[in-house]
Amino acid sequence: MALIELRNIFKSYFLHGKRIDVLRDVSLDIEQGELVSLIGPSGAGKSTFLHVVGTLDAPAAGTMRFEGRQVFDMNDAELAELRNRSIGFVFQSHFLLPEFTAVENVAMPALVRRADRTRAFRDARELLDRMGLGARAEHRPGELSGGESQRVALARALVLKPTLLLADEPTGNLDPATGEQIHALLREVNRDLGVTAIVVTHNEELARSMPRQLRMRDGSVRPAHPELHGAAGEGGARPTTDAPTLPDGPTPGGPPGTDDDGG
C-alpha cells in the first residue's frame, strides 16, 4: 500500500468568469519514504496540487487515500486531526512568529497541542541542532537570515514527527547556494527521519537532486524525465492498478464539478 494514492483528481477555478482547469485527472502513488520534487512553470498548478495532497483544499472530483484511509470522506475535524498529526508544511515564506525565539517557534505546534513542554522544547532543540542552528535557538526571527529562518520553519514542520512533509517553493526567496542548503537538509531529514516529502521548486537543478522528479504540465503530473524511465514512467507518475472511481466519467477539461473561488 502506498502512503498516498491519488485517483482521478480534478480541480478548477473560476477567474473573471473563465474556468481554469488546474488539475485534470491526476492519478499518482507516493510510497512511504519517498523524496519527490515537483517542477513546472508558474501557474501550472503545483500549489493547488500540494494543497489537495495536504487536505487544505478539496478537489472537485477524485479520491485520495492516505495511509489507506479515504481522505475526502472525512469531516473537517477528522481532516484537521490528520493534518496536525501526519502532515508538515513549509512555504516560500517562513511565517515565523516575530516575537518568539527560534526554539519557541519550533516548539509551537507541540505546545499548541498541549504536548509535554519539556519534551516539546527538547525536540525543538534537537531539530535546530540538526539544522545547524543550535547556536541560534534563542534568537528571534528578526535576527536570522532568510536561509536560517527557513531552516527554523523546516524544524517547526518536523516537530510533530509528520509522516509527510509538503514544501511549496521553500527556496523561492533564497539565493542558489542557500537554496541548495535547504535541499540538502530535506534530503537529510528524508534519509534520517524517514519522512516522505514532496518539494515544489522552480529550479531544475534542485529538482534533479531529488530521487524522484515529477513535472506539472497541462493539468497532469508526470515523470519530469520520461525518457529516462521508459514509456511506463518508472520512477515518476506510475501506472495505477485501481479502476477509476468516478461514476460520472469526467473527461479531461470537463470536470463534473468546479470550485468557484470568485475573483
Report the interface residues with ligand ADP, using CB under 6 A. Answer: 13, 15, 20, 22, 40, 42-48, 261, 263
Smallest distance, ligand ADP to C-beta of residue 55, A:
16
Of residues 18 and 114, the one with the C-beta less far from ligand ADP: 18
Smallest distance, ligand ADP to C-beta of residue 141, A:
25
Strand partners, 197: 35, 165
Of residues 109 and 255, the one with the C-beta less far from ligand ADP: 255
Three-state secondary structure along 173-195? Answer: CCCHHHHHHHHHHHHHHHHHHCC
- Measure the CA–CA gap between 112 and 240, rounded to whole angstroms: 39
CA R_g for the chain:
19
Of residues 242 and 261, the one with the C-beta less far from ligand ADP: 261
Q: Which residue has the cell 534568537?
A: 139
Of residues 109 and 236, the one with the C-beta less far from ligand ADP: 236
Q: DSSP 3-state assignment of 86?
A: helix
Smallest distance, ligand ADP to C-beta of residue 44, A:
4
Of residues 45 and 170, the one with the C-beta less far from ligand ADP: 45
- Cα torsion 221, 224, 230, 236: sign: negative
Closest CA to 141 of 107, 182, 98: 98
Smallest distance, ligand ADP to C-beta of residue 116, A:
37
Closest CA to 72 of 54, 55, 48: 55
Smallest distance, ligand ADP to C-beta of residue 197, A:
17
Of residues 22 and 53, the one with the C-beta less far from ligand ADP: 22
Of residues 15 and 228, the one with the C-beta less far from ligand ADP: 15
Residue 163's CB: how many other CB atoms inside 10 A? 18
Smallest distance, ligand ADP to C-beta of residue 231, A:
26
- Measure the CA–CA gap between 52 and 9, rounded to whole angstroms: 9
| Phi/psi of residue 144, nearest 5 degrees | -115, 150
Smallest distance, ligand ADP to C-beta of residue 50, A:
8
The string of DSSP codes covering 29-49 is EE-TT-EEEEE--TTSSHHHH
